[in-house]
């Protein structure tokens, strides 16, 4: 495993970071608690020291399971990354900017983007309780909120750093203009954004700016929610309430399948799976600090961690990139 510095902070994060969206269950067709906790333990046992979650993942369930999984562990050896700014049923529901309706057990739950000061403080306290800790290493605004002044949100993050409640502050899903505006108030440690072989939009402007400003990029959906593992093309059936049924429609699936077939020999040549090859490729891209990889069981967690053991030769990298140019 490699460990990489987060922006201008002293934090060292594992290059493969445990992404805890799927274990929350909502939008992923449910989850198995025992397997989810086992996946966290397996990650820690195989060099992954960083866990990324959010209150929205399972409407608190993801954070609760992480807190349970870390019971008895040395807190100083684990970096906890969580978020704020997506609110649903409860006292803050209806505040902020309407985002979408999330589905959970047959219910449609309105979700709002809300980055006001009082909500940040409230959400953080709830996260600390669920995670069973008194601080988080990185607190991130989950999505931009156009109803709250940016300086209000960023100034609140600065105060939380001063209070010792968080070690660093970041954002998620920010474009270049939003990064500029936020940095008028705060020195951001990171920007968590979607990035994969099939989605390299940030390379146009967000990535160069982040490299220049030493803002770490935390890449999410590197495997496009399982599409790049190849399993989807092998009679994999998704549950009706799995959001990926619609998510995969944005891609030219025939071209993706053809691309995966072409790079499969590279994976086999290094005794790796397609998923491992995809993860390793992502960690090797310029400006990418850490890559989020979800796991629903211990086997997947071990596989994700071991992707860092793969060596991709310059010739293999050139071949992969050439084939990618044909579908992007």
Cα gap 146→97, rounded to integer Å: 7
CB 181: neighbour CB atoms within 10 A? 15
Residue 102 CA: distances (Å) to CA of 18, 87, 106: 23, 11, 10
The yes-or-no answer on residue 57 being catalytic is: yes
Distance of CA 199 to the CA centre of its chain: 15
Catalytic-labelled residue, pool 3, 18, 57, 232: 57
Query: For 268-273, which contacts have Cβ atoms below 8 Å and span 24 or more sequence positions?
Result: 270/310, 270/311, 270/312, 272/307, 272/310, 273/229, 273/303
Q: Which of 35, 59, 12, 79 has the alpha carbon at shortest distance from 294?
A: 35
Cα–Cα dist 108/102, whole Å: 6
Task: Supply angle C-alpha 300, 172, 279, rounded to 5.
Answer: 30
Q: So which residues are the catalytic ones?
A: 57
């Amino acid at each position: 495993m490699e460990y990489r510095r987060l922006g201008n902070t002293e934090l060292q994060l594992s290059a493969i970071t445990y992404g805890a969206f799927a274990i929350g269950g909502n939008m992923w067709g449910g989850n198995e608690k025992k397997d989810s906790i086992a996946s966290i333990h397996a990650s820690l046992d195989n060099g992954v020291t960083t866990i990324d979650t959010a209150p929205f993942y399972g409407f608190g369930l993801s954070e609760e399971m992480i807190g349970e999984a870390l019971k008895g562990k040395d807190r100083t050896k684990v970096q906890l990354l969580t978020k704020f700014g997506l609110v649903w049923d409860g006292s803050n529901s209806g505040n902020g900017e309407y985002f979408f309706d999330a589905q959970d057990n047959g219910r449609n739950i309105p979700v709002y983007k809300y980055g006001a000061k009082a909500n940040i403080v409230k959400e953080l306290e709830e996260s600390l309780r669920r995670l069973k800790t008194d601080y988080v290493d990185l607190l991130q605004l989950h999505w931009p909120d156009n109803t709250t002044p940016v300086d209000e949100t960023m100034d609140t993050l600065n105060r939380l750093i001063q209070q010792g409640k968080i070690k660093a502050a970041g954002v998620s899903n920010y474009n270049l203009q939003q990064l500029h505006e936020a940095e008028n108030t705060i020195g951001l440690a990171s920007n968590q954004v979607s990035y994969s072989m099939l989605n390299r939009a940030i390379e146009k402007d967000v990535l160069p700016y982040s490299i220049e400003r030493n803002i770490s990029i935390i890449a999410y959906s590197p495997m496009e929610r399982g599409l790049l593992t190849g399993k989807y093309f092998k009679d994999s059936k998704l549950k009706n309430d799995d959001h990926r049924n619609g998510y995969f429609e944005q891609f030219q699936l025939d071209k993706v399948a053809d691309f995966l077939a072409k790079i499969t020999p590279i994976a086999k040549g290094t005794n790796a799976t397609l998923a491992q090859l995809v993860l390793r490729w992502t960690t090797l891209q310029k400006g990418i600090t850490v890559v989020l990889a979800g796991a629903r069981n211990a086997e997947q967690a071990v596989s994700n961690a071991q992707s860092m053991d793969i060596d991709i030769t310059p010739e293999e990298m050139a071949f992969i990139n050439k084939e990618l140019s044909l579908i992007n």
